[in-house]
Amino acid sequence: MWRYFVKRLGIAILVVITVSVISFGLLRLSGDLAQIIAGEGATQAQIQETRILYGLDRHMVLQYLDWAGKAMTGDLGRSLFTNEPVFQLIATRLPVTATLAFSSLLLAICVALPLGVFAAVYRNSWIDRAALGIAVFGSAVPNFWFALVLIYIFGVQLRLLPISGSASWWHFVLPTVTLSTMVMPQIMRLTRGGMIDALDSDYVKMAWAKGLNPGIVFFKHALRNALLPVVALSAVSLGFLLGGSVIVESVFSLNGIGSLAYESIQRADFPVVQSILFVLSFIYVLLTLLSDLINARIDPRIRLY
């Protein structure tokens, strides 16, 4: 168990470092930072002055090491636009996105899990077809468009729900529904597939042969095994939702980390963009690490690796 954990941790740290190098390099690709900071119409001398002030005249590797060293102490630099510390900017915006991502994942699981199980138990019935229909819809509908349609129906025609901002829990209903369609199909498909495999397996046949009642066979024998990959997928999905909420946030005017990234990209605020990319990747790596651990805890076979 420990060997497995240490190996995973090592890979995770390497991934985080690589990601930080990529997100650092990505934004240095964008041209002369000093010129952007100095603003339009700055003279050569002013640009040169800015370059030295921000340490942009040094070698790229030195600049990276400087950034990485500070990042480890939680200092992610300052926004070029508002001059606020980036760490603080992200910390104030993250709760909105986290709420949205958690509630979307929860909704997706609450719908997809029972649906997947019933679709597998009653294969080729109407419920299986309905589940397939939902999966097809979820994986093909453009979510910015779905968001607008929901706004039109529930916000404008029926006047049931608020359509922008994050003032109350009600404001999160439509964004949550929209965002959950991004992960619902995969969770549903995986649950259904895992459940079908489990139901066809020898140990479930054995359970039937022993004369156990269907409830115990389905939930204790089959579902527990079918759920293993779903745990991993849920962790991955949460990371995906945190990074993928930009569209939904922009349509519903939620001030989350996605809209912060979007605004910062538009106004070329590189320290903020770079840090958001890094923080989101970091959270993703943590989540996958956590799911590996949970899986190893539930399934002893994994620990043998």
Please say which residue, 23 or 166, places its beta carbon nearer to other proteins.
Answer: 23
Separation of CA 27 from chain center: 22
Q: By rule CB under 8 A, what string of x and - marks binding of each residue 28-47 to other proteins?
A: -xxx----------------
> Counting contacts by CB under 8 A, is residue 19 touching other proteins?
yes
Q: In angstroms, what is the minimal distance from the CB of 61 to other proteins?
A: 19
**99, 201, 250, 295: which one contacts other proteins (CB under 8 A)?**
250
> Counting contacts by CB under 8 A, is residue 206 touching other proteins?
no
What residues have CB less than 8 Å from 136, skipping those under 6 apart?
185
Alpha helix stretches (DSSP H) within 122-183: 126-140, 143-150, 173-180
Integer CA distances (angstroms), 239 to 6, 8, 25, in order: 22, 18, 23
Alpha helix stretches (DSSP H) within 29-163: 33-38, 44-53, 60-72, 86-121, 126-140, 143-150
Q: In angstroms, what is the minimal distance from the CB of 16 to other proteins?
A: 8
276: Cα within 13 Å, side-chain hemisphere? 28
> Counting contacts by CB under 8 A, is residue 143 touching other proteins?
yes
Q: In angstroms, what is the minimal distance from the CB of 133 to other proteins?
A: 10
- Using the contact rule CB under 8 A, the part of the chain among 47-55, 105-113, 145-153, 225-233 near other proteins is 145-153
Measured distance CA(115)–CA(98) in Å, rounded: 25
**22, 91, 290, 298: which one contacts other proteins (CB under 8 A)?**
22
**141, 212, 232, 302: which one contacts other proteins (CB under 8 A)?**
141
> Counting contacts by CB under 8 A, is residue 243 touching other proteins?
yes
Write the DSSP string, 275-293: HHHHHHHHHHHHHHHHHHH
Please, are residues 38 and 50 in contact by the beta-carbon 8 Å criterion?
yes
Binding site for other proteins (CB under 8 A): 11, 14-16, 18-19, 22-23, 26-27, 29-31, 136, 139-146, 148-149, 152, 156, 192-193, 196, 236, 239, 242-244, 246-247, 250, 258, 261-262, 265-266, 268, 273, 276-277, 280-281, 284-285, 288
